[in-house]
Structure 1
C-alpha cells in the first residue's frame, strides 16, 4: 500500500539560546531534523547544508535503493561541510547531527548521525527507531548506566559522531509502516529534557499533528529548554 505523510513542524530557539542552529524539513515523503553541533562555529550553516542536499529526494523519483539515495546525499553534504571548513577559518569545526526519514510505498528508510531522534508510535506501542551517537549511550550499552540515569547524566549531550566533513558512518534502517502510524523526529532540545514517558503520552493524547508538535515544545519549555527545540510530527495515511 502506498502511504502519505500529514505533517507539522515547530522549531523554537528555547529559553536560553539567542539563535537557532536547528534546521528541518517536513515534506510529502521526506522528513529531516539537523541540529548544528552545540559549541561549534557556524552550526546553523552545517545544518542548512544537510537539509539542502537531502531536499531533492522529496521532489524527484528515487532511482534504486532509497537508503543509498539518502547516504549519497549525506555524503555530498559532508563534503561541502569539509570544504566550508577548509576555505573559511572562522567556521573550522562546523558540524551537525541529522535524522532523516524517506517514505517509499509502505516503508521508511531511516538515516541517523548524532543525537537527534526518530520515534514511531503504533497504538499502543512506542519505539525509538534511532540509537544516539553519544557518550552516555555507550555507557548504557555496556551496562554502566541505566536509560533513566543516562537521561539525567550531566554529559548526556556529548556526541560521538556528527556530520563534520570527516569520515562518517551513518546508521540506517528500513522499517515497514502502516496507516495510523505516527512519527516523531526531534532534536535533543526535546529528548534531553522530556523523558520518553511524557513524549509517548503527548503522542497518544493529541490527535492533530500541529497540536502535538506544539505540546512537545511546551513540555521542553517546562523543562527549562536550555537548547533549541525542533519537532516534526508526521501521521501516515493511505495515499
Structure 2
C-alpha cells in the first residue's frame, strides 16, 4: 500500500496473514489527513476475531475529525467503550456457544496539532522513534507483563509461563473495559509504529529502530515486513508507520 502524504504527517500501513495461520484476523486504519491510525488484532476464532478487528477500524474511521485533542480523544474512548459493550454482550449471547469470545486488541494513535495520544487495550503496541532512540509507549495488557509487574519475574521467566500471551484486557473480553492512554508532545523527526504482536515478536528492538530510522514510512514498512517474513511469522502481522 503506497504511503500517503497529507498535511505534515505521512503514513504507510500493511497487514499479512503470515506463514502459518489460514486467515488474517488483524485489521488496520490509516487516516493521515485526520491524524488517526489504529491496529486491531482479533481473537475468538477466525470469523469472530476478524469480525471484531474489522468492526473496530470501521467504527474509528467514522469518528469526526473536528475538535481539539481532548474532544477527539473523548469521542474515540466513547466509540471503543460502545464497541466493547456490543462485542461482550450482544454478539457473545447470539453466538452458537454462549461462552464464545468475540474480541480484539486495539492500539490507536491520535495526533492533533503538536499533541498526540496513544490509546490501547491488549498487547498490540505503539512505539516512538525519537532522537535515534526507540521508546515503547504502550505497556502490554498480558499475563506476561502482569507477572513482571506484580511478581517481579524477569521477562524471560515470565515468558515461560504457559499462558504468558493471555490478554488481561481487550475490546469485548469483559463488560468493563479499561483503556490505557498516554499523551505526549510531538517533535520534529518523530516516527511512530503501531503493530500487532505478530510483528514485534519476530523482531528485535534494534531492528524496529533501524526500520523507523529510514527516511519514509513506506521504506520502513518494507524493511519491517521483509525481516518479519524472513522469520517464522507464526501469527498475522500488521503495522502502521507514521512520521512527518
**Normalized against structure 1, the TM-score is what?**
0.88
Residues 62 and 69 of structure 1 are in contact (CA less than 8 Å); yes or no, is this contact kept in structure 2? no
- Say which of 179, 188, 212 aligns to 1:179: 188
2:20 is aligned to 16
- Which of 98, 120, 131 lines up with 1:123 in the alignment? 131
What pairs with 1:63-142 in structure 2 (closer than 5 Å)?
A: 65-81=71-87, 82-89=89-96, 92-142=100-150
**Consecutive unaligned residues in structure 1, runs of 5 or more:** none
How many pairs are equivalent?
232
Per the alignment, residue 27 of structure 1 pairs with 31
Q: Is the 8 A contact 1:117 1:185 kept in 2?
A: yes
Q: Hey, what's the Cα distance between the residues in 2 that align with 1:7 and 1:148?
A: 33
SS at match of 1:36: strand
Cα distance between partner residues in 2 of 1:151 and 1:125: 25
Task: Give per-residue Cα distances to partners, 1:98-119, cap 9 Å, x unaligned.
Answer: 0001111111111100000000
State the 1:85 CA deviation: 1.9
Q: TM-score, normalised by structure 2?
A: 0.86
Query: SS in structure 1 opposite 2:104?
Result: coil
Deviates more, 1:135-144 or 1:26-35: 135-144
SS of match in other structure, 2:129: strand
Q: Distance in 2 between matches of 1:227 and 1:9?
A: 17
CA distance in 1: counterparts of 2:221 and 2:97, whole angstroms? 35
- Counterparts of 1:113 and 1:193, CA distance in 2: 21
Match for residue 211 of structure 2?
Answer: 202
- Higher mean C-alpha deviation, range 138-147 or range 27-36: 138-147
Partner of 2:4: none
Return 5+ residue gaps in structure 2 as ranges: 1-6
Which of 64, 67, 73 is the matching residue for 1:62?
67
CA distance in 1, matches of 2:120, 2:239: 16
Deviation >6 Å, runs of 4+: none
Residue 167 of structure 2 corresponds to: 159
Helix, strand or coil at the partner of 2:53: helix
Alpha-carbon deviations, 1:132-186, whole Å to 9, x = none?
0011111222363334555676644221111115211010111110221000000
1:216 CA displacement: 1.1
Which among 178, 183, 189 is matched to residue 169 of structure 1?
Answer: 178
